[in-house]
Each structure stands twice: as C-alpha cells, then as structure tokens.
C-alpha cells in the first residue's frame, strides 16, 4: 500500500544533517532511494545517491516518483509545489512547525493534482522488509497482516513493537501527522487499508483533540469490513491545554477522549485501554503470523 517495489524515492534536503542520516537508514532498509535535491548542491553524491538542483531535473534523470522532505519548515510550501509540478504523486512531509496556512494550501493543491501526501510532523511510511520513507526505526517492524495508522510517531513504533513481539506483523504503517491540519485525513487512510488485500486488520492510534476519529467512526460504519481496534491517547488531558501535539487540544466536549471512544464503540471498533492490549487483540482476531 502506497510504497512498493516500483517506488523510486527522492530525498529533499538530502545534504543536510538529518536528511543525510535518514537517507542512510532508508537505504539500509532496502528503500529504492534514487535521487536527492538540494538547490546549489547539484553534482554531489550522498551515500552514492546523486544530488540535483531541482526536482524536475531529478525526475527526468532518475524516474523518481515519490519524495520525502527533510527541508526547513519555511521552505516546505515552495518545495511541495515544485515536487507536485514535477509529476511526483506520493509525498511525505516530515518537518515540524510548517505554518497551518501553508498546509491548507498544500492540501488543496494535492487534492487538485491527485497527489497522496502525508504529514506534516509525521514519522512517515513503512512497509516491513520492503522500504520506508521517513524516520521510523526499522528494527521494530516485521511483515504481516495488520495495518497501523497513527497520529503519534512514537506510539506507532510502540504498537508495531508490541505486535511483533506477539507474532503479528504489519502490512503497512502510516504516520498521518500530528498537526491540526494534515495533508491526508484518517478517513482517506482507512479507505486505502480497506482496499489493500495485504491488510486484514487495522489499528488506529489516535489522540484527544480534533475530529479525525469521530469522522473515521462514521466511515467505518459505512465502508470498513475488516476488524478495527483503536487506542486514544490523552485520557486524562485537561480541557483547553495543548498536550504535546498541536492538534491534541480538547475544547469543551469537542475532541474529548470520552467522545472519541463512544463514537468508535458505537460502530463496533474495539477499544484498547493500553498499547499492550494490542497483543491480545491480534491473537483474538487471528491476525498473528505472516
């Protein structure tokens, strides 16, 4: 789902410290990284990956069809436009602190051009033993049949590690991003998991704040046929106080833990009170093994 053997990855900001390190890790995890882009650094090589000045040049020379961003937040909007205009249709935006009004412009442009984009503030995308785009620590993942979509990067790693310890691998792990506005909503990611033949069960890792989970519950009721479990972080979060993520704020009853849990329970989603319960859930649903 999203990333496969035909994915040819372009790393934006590849010559920076984070971009260079994460490129190394992606290459070590079999990711087909074919190019990097840093304006003014064309002609260099980073871990044997050729660097270009523009996305258009990189796409023309290497056939890149996906891109992961490690560029400073103020430059993300321009880089996004350039990447979409060059014909790339899968984009992972890792950086934090991208202005919300920029994300809204990016979201609309991606929809107009038929682009799938994750983030910002995302750990990225990983398909076990095939490749990854982003910063997920690959050692925690193993191939299997459970899809994970998470608003929290670190919790996505924790859930994958717990599932792996209980003999349940993952089909695809998606970090949707933690900001108030994200480029691809939870509903859209659930649709991809529902359509993916390699995914037989889905775990949603949500958190208080926003309405992503409530919208997802309505979608699950109408369209999802696979077993779904959900963990909602922030059960004891006080109202009106931002907890960690920009999107994790409760305002009155909107976005509360109780409200999200009630919405999921009403449509038959199994609620996990602790991440460790995911191990028992996959065994009960027969989702262990490859």
Q: Which residues pair with 45 in a beta bridge?
A: 50
Catalytic residue among 30, 97, 166, 245: 245
3-state secondary structure of 130: coil
Nearest to 227 by CA among 174, 254, 190, 261: 190
CA distance 206 to 230: 7
Our CA angle for 92, 217, 180, nearest 5°, is 40
245 among known catalytic residues = yes
CA distance 118 to 125: 8
**Half-sphere exposure for 119 (CA within 13 Å, toward CB):** 31
Nearest to 91 by CA among 115, 61, 56: 115
Around Cβ 148, how many Cβ atoms within 10 Å?
A: 26
What is the phi/psi pair of residue 242, to 5°? -70, 130
The residues annotated as belonging to the active site are 245
């Amino acid at each position: 789902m999203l990333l496969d053997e035909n994915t040819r990855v372009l790393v934006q900001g590849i010559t920076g410290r984070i971009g260079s390190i994460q490129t190394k890790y992606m290459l070590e995890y079999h990711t087909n990284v074919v190019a990097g882009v840093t304006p003014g650094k064309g002609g260099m090589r980073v871990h044997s990956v050729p660097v270009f000045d523009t996305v258009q040049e990189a796409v023309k020379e290497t056939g890149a069809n996906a891109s992961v961003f490690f560029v400073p937040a103020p430059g993300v909007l321009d880089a996004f436009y350039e990447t979409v205009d060059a014909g790339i249709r899968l984009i992972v935006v890792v950086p934090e602190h991208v202005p919300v009004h920029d994300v809204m412009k990016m979201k609309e442009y991606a929809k107009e051009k038929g682009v799938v984009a994750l983030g910002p503030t995302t750990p990225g995308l990983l398909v076990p033993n095939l490749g990854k785009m982003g910063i997920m620590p690959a050692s925690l993942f193993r191939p299997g049949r459970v899809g994970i979509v998470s608003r929290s990067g670190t919790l996505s790693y924790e859930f994958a590690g717990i599932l792996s310890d209980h003999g349940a691998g993952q089909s695809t792990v998606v970090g949707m991003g933690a900001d108030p506005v994200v480029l691809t909503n939870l509903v859209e990611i659930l649709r991809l998991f529902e359509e993916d033949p390699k995914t037989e069960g889905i775990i949603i890792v949500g958190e208080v704040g926003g309405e992503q989970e409530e919208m997802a519950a309505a979608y699950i009721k109408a369209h999802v046929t696979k077993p779904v479990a959900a963990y909602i972080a922030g059960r004891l979060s006080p109202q009106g106080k931002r907890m960690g993520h920009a999107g994790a704020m409760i305002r009155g009853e909107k976005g509360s833990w109780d409200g999200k849990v009630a919405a999921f329970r009403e449509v038959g989603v199994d609620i996990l009170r602790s991440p460790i319960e995911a191990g028992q859930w996959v065994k009960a649903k027969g989702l262990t093994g490859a």
